[in-house]
Structure 1
Amino acid sequence: MPRSLTAALRRPATLPALIALAALAVLVAGPLAGLVAATLDADGLEAWGDVLASPLSNALLWEPLGGSLVVGLGTGIASVVLGSFLAWAVVLTDMPFRRTVGVLATIPFAIPSFAIALAWESVFRNDRIGGASGLLAGLGVEVPDALAWGALPVTLTLTAHYFSLAFVVVAAALASVGGDLLAAAELTGASRARVALRIALPAVAPAMGSGFLLAFAEGVSNFAVPALLGLPVRFQTLSTRLYGAISTGDQDRGFVLSILLVLVAALVLWTGTRLTSRSVSTVTGKPSRARRIRLGPAKPVVLAGALAIVVAATILPAIVLAASTVLRRTNRFDGGTTWHYWVGESDASIAQGLRGVLVDPRILEAVGGTVLLAATVAVITMALGFLAAWSAARTPPWIGGTLSGLSYVPFLIPGVALGAAVIAQFGRPFLGLPSIYGTFWILVVGGIAASIPFAFQTSRAALAQVSRELEDAAAMAGAGTWRTLGRILLPVTARGTVGGAALVFVTMARDLSLVVMLVTPATPLLAVTAYEYASEGFTQHANAITLIITVVSVTVTLLARRLEGRRSPWMDA
């Protein structure tokens, strides 16, 4: 055995690293390999032919791909425009209420995407597909089909959800632009417009490109919004077509579409990484505060534009959802109000006898299942992420690099595709274990796999703030590896790891794209129940459940950020 390998195996971090590698191989590499392997047998090869080159290809691939690209491009462009404008206004100008606008601009990403879609439907739904119309139609306003269903409302709704990504990325980049550069440009007589176009814009162009590509990739892979606002009029994307294939038993074609969706998302995010790496140097040797632009007479206009964006994306959806849950007639003010959809007992004259969401045993069971799933995933994922992050920093590069790479891979896989991969791997006997499809544990496995990137990055950031001297002192005192991890490092990094666990909890509580592929009637969850109610026309119940998820998600997200002690660029005076 080579000496270098022998030395590596004797390191204290080697055993934890091997455990983390084995877990990631089973949870990440295994499902992907199983997904590919499932398409290489005779039926799988036939499915490849059906999807890529057959009379069915147009319906199976090209039309959904076209829908995905339209939605992705629209979401990416609109998100980066809105996010960049808000970032500029919040970070570089003297606009009033900057901090408030900055906080509100980060909230939409914590809101479930289907919450905004349901709010849109409550306002703009028309009578094209039957059922109860939206608030505008109830007031006598004729809503065009293009505004009620299809690509446009899907794109606008996704933009309202994902512009937060572009805002955060661009705001961080603008905050790093040295104030001395802007001041020097102004001293030369350059106008505000010239400073913005010739200095600030080139400096943040890579961040804007990254924000665009992130929003594009998220838009392409989102399932909930196209399903709610597109499927009723047969507007398909790759994610909805993939879900339709697997949910109807056509798994081979579904697995092929999953691989193609993964490739599209991975290509987009790889391009974004390459683009982000080509940055412009704007940080000088001396620290300098970002110089704020005096808006002058334009201040009210900029403030009005910023408030309009954050109110439309953050406050109005919550108001619409809340108001719709107390209307006796769906989306109609003339029927009066009622609390039945929250606390009412079964009444055959209302919602086909469904109880209010707070007293319905099925909903309460879904609450319990959601909390149990989110808590289980959060605890296990953060433990695994912590172990992987610590091992990656204390093992040879070939081990640490493998850990980092495997931990990052799930970020490239859309939720629907990851769900399909988990089904392909764990929906049959694996390593001597029985199939876990249809059980609670396949949800846990899928949730851990999807959450690993965030847990790894959060743990690595927390561990980076801890001096190695603590570990050296523990070793000199005779503490072993596991004792050092559990009794010293974990308590010291508790704020970061607990904050990370809280955000993993939120992600699982509001996620639909992943769990919709894995859930069964035996394992009800709030997000899936809300989607089912919305699909069946029980609008008030769906909106009430979604409002509960939204309140929990936003509250826990804000608490987690406070716990982690994050300081945003717009918080500096």
Structure 2
Amino acid sequence: MARRPVSWLAAAVVAVLVVLVLLPLAGLAGATVGPDADGAWADVVASPLSGALLWQPLGGSLLVGLGTGLLATLVGAYLAWVVVMTDAPGRRAVGALAAIPFALPSFAIALAWETVFRNDRIGGEPGLLAALGVAVPDWLAWGPVSVVLTLVAHYYSLSFVVVAAALTNVGGDVVAAARLTGASRWQVATRVVLPSVGPALLSGFLLAFAEGVSNFAVPALLGLPVRFQTLSTRLYGAISTGDAARGYVLSLVLVAVAGLVLLAGQRMTRGRSYSTITGKATRAQRLRLGPARWPLAALAWGIVVATAVVPGVVLAVSTVLRRTGSLDGGLTWHYWVGASDPSVAQGTRGVLRDPVVLDALGGTIALGLAVAVGAVVLATLASLALRALPRARALHATVSTLGYVPFLVPGVALGAAFIAQFGTGSGPLPSLYGTFAILVLAGIAASLPFALQTARAAFGQVSTELDEAAVLTGAGGARRFGRITLPLVSRGLANGGVLVFVTMVRDLSVVVLLVTPATPLLSMLTFRYASEGFTQHANAITLVIAAVAVVATLLARRLERRPDLETTR
């Protein structure tokens, strides 16, 4: 490919990244100091209102983030140790189940929690335990404890995947050498294995912390009923009630909190060596647990069953109960296929017969596909430009930075940034609020870190010698890409697209501020039904979302099992 077309391609990629990432954040910051801001910073930070606007929600966010990060890392690391390092029975099945909770929407687990533990604190139909006569305390049914435990059940999968990969790379020779020196099992675990996976543990904590701080659905469903606020719920309330300037300030605070913690974590591991892979490394040795293998395996099984199996069963059963949380009223399929009946759920039809739900299903799938295609195409073009211009350091730095920034921006804050930038017409940019286009653009921006990382990894596996050989035969740039490079990276790009699709289908944080009646989505319908007390309808829609996500995930697994394409260096 000639240098000039590649340069134009690189410039176009950078321009798109600027529009998707830099302009919304700049618009968000500008909206907090513009003429319409009316002292928003002072009101939020230093006024009689700042306690309720900022400091209490900030404390709630930090409590949720730290609790989620610590517990999710502990649970994920324990499961990773059982699966990778021990001879516990059923460890492979534990490993498979441990990856499921993250594929489900976070509000699915929150709704399952509410279905089981809901009490009469806020009125409405009680949960299963309360219906059976069990007195569920308020601190367990609502508030920070229920929020943290629900988020841990959702996000421990992140720590599990990261730590399991690190434990796999702890060579058996390292452990054997430690044992030859007379080290006990405890000393090997605490002085050899644990330090070796230190970066993985930190990464798992940071990922879970950032996700916990930015999550909107779980605090909204389990915290707002008892006035437990986080920054995400507070800024949603501010913007949705017309107090946009203060909401934008809270968005910037949320971005700063998530960004500072992630950057601090990177500095903690900078300059340190955690090498465990050597030229003579052997496969990791499994620890023989002896009689302890059964109770440790039982604990691992209890965790994965409670988080990966029970929520789905609870949601499925609740959708066919005539009365919420009670078997006394009998069973019914009304909430799935029933016609409008004034005596049931205020005349609301079953989800599979409701045109609003069906429109939302089509809109959700269309949004997931559009975002997946857009993010993968943009990531492919960016990777192609970086591959063709390996010495363009400024380009590499710009693309890497702009592609990573959305990871630091919580979903609700990113949605607020798009409202600030594209909510009203500005210059050549029309007003996009209330359109499908703003949902797609925000989704692509939020998905950039995943798509770009996947695309760069896929392109990195293809040797440049193939391009050089094709050049000698006289093949042009477009032909080389279409006939050689694209077939070799297609599987990696497809997997990245499926990941983006699943994330977008189940996401609520990014779209919660952007969805309008003209652009219905399943995730927003679930939140609305749950907030209004239509538990069976909310749970049924959640199962539909989970089914779509699972089908897409199985498709990705099928792509991974296809025979590898053979290449010659």
What TM-score does the superposition give when structure 2 sets the normalisation length?
A: 0.96
Q: Which amino acid aligns with 1:182?
A: V
**Aligned-residue offset at 1:562:** 4.6
Match of 2:257 in 1: 264
**Aligned-residue offset at 1:9:** 9.5
Match of 1:177 in 2: 170
> What fraction of aligned residue pairs are identical, expressed as a percent?
65
Taking the aligned partners of 2:460 and 2:29, their CA distance within structure 1 comes to 36
**Aligned-residue offset at 1:561:** 4.1
Taking the aligned partners of 1:13 and 1:90, their CA distance within structure 2 comes to 46
Taking the aligned partners of 2:520 and 2:180, their CA distance within structure 1 comes to 63
Q: Is the 1:206–1:279 contact (alpha carbons within 8 Å) kept by the matching residues of 2?
A: no
Match of 1:64 in 2: 57
Per-residue Cα deviation, 1:219-239 (whole angstroms, up to 9, x for no partner): 111000000000011100000
- Where 1:283 maps in the other structure, the secondary structure is coil
Q: Which amino acid aligns with 1:63?
A: Q
Match of 1:326 in 2: 320
2:182 maps to 1:186: no
**Aligned-residue offset at 1:484:** 3.2
Q: Structure 1 45/402 Cα, relative in aligned 2: closer, same or farther at 3 Å?
A: farther
**Aligned-residue offset at 1:478:** 4.1
Match of 2:131 in 1: 138
1:461 to 448, 457, 460: 457
Taking the aligned partners of 1:480 and 1:502, their CA distance within structure 2 comes to 31
Taking the aligned partners of 2:262 and 2:547, their CA distance within structure 1 comes to 30
Match of 1:164 in 2: 157
**Aligned-residue offset at 1:214:** 1.4
- More displaced 10-residue stretch of structure 1: 113-122 or 180-189: 180-189
2:310 to 313, 316, 336: 316
2:35 maps to 1:39: no
Q: Structure 1 482/406 Cα, relative in aligned 2: closer, same or farther at 3 Å?
A: farther
**Aligned-residue offset at 1:294:** 0.3
**Aligned-residue offset at 1:279:** 4.1
Match of 1:342 in 2: 336
Q: Structure 1 97/11 Cα, relative in aligned 2: closer, same or farther at 3 Å?
A: farther
Q: Which amino acid aligns with 2:332?
A: T
**Aligned-residue offset at 1:273:** 2.2
Q: Which amino acid aligns with 2:116?
A: V
Alignment of 1:184-333 (within 5 A): 184-277=177-270, 278-333=272-327
- More displaced 10-residue stretch of structure 1: 475-484 or 20-29: 475-484
Per-residue Cα deviation, 1:495-548 (whole angstroms, up to 9, x for no partner): 111111111111111000011110000100000001100000000000000011
Taking the aligned partners of 2:38 and 2:383, their CA distance within structure 1 comes to 39
Alignment of 1:488-567 (within 5 A): 488-564=484-560
Match of 1:3 in 2: none
**Aligned-residue offset at 1:107:** 1.2
What TM-score does the superposition give when structure 1 sets the normalisation length?
A: 0.95
Unaligned runs of 5+ in 2: 563-569
- More displaced 10-residue stretch of structure 1: 240-249 or 13-22: 13-22
Q: Is the 2:119–2:138 contact (alpha carbons within 8 Å) kept by the matching residues of 1?
A: yes
- Where 2:39 maps in the other structure, the secondary structure is helix
Taking the aligned partners of 2:256 and 2:482, their CA distance within structure 1 comes to 39
Match of 1:569 in 2: none
- More displaced 10-residue stretch of structure 1: 389-398 or 74-83: 389-398
2:110 maps to 1:127: no
Q: Which amino acid aligns with 2:342?
A: A
Taking the aligned partners of 2:104 and 2:9, their CA distance within structure 1 comes to 36
Taking the aligned partners of 2:273 and 2:333, their CA distance within structure 1 comes to 55
2:64 maps to 1:91: no
Q: Is the 2:114–2:141 contact (alpha carbons within 8 Å) kept by the matching residues of 1?
A: yes
Q: Structure 1 332/517 Cα, relative in aligned 2: closer, same or farther at 3 Å?
A: same
Q: Which amino acid aligns with 1:427?
A: G
2:415 to 414, 419, 435: 419
Q: Which amino acid aligns with 1:284?
A: T
Match of 1:401 in 2: 397
Match of 2:567 in 1: none
Question: Which consecutive aligned stretches of 4+ in structure 1 deviate over 6 angstroms post-superposition?
Answer: none
- Where 2:512 maps in the other structure, the secondary structure is helix
Taking the aligned partners of 1:499 and 1:281, their CA distance within structure 2 comes to 29
Match of 1:21 in 2: 14
Per-residue Cα deviation, 1:477-507 (whole angstroms, up to 9, x for no partner): 4444344334432222111111111111111
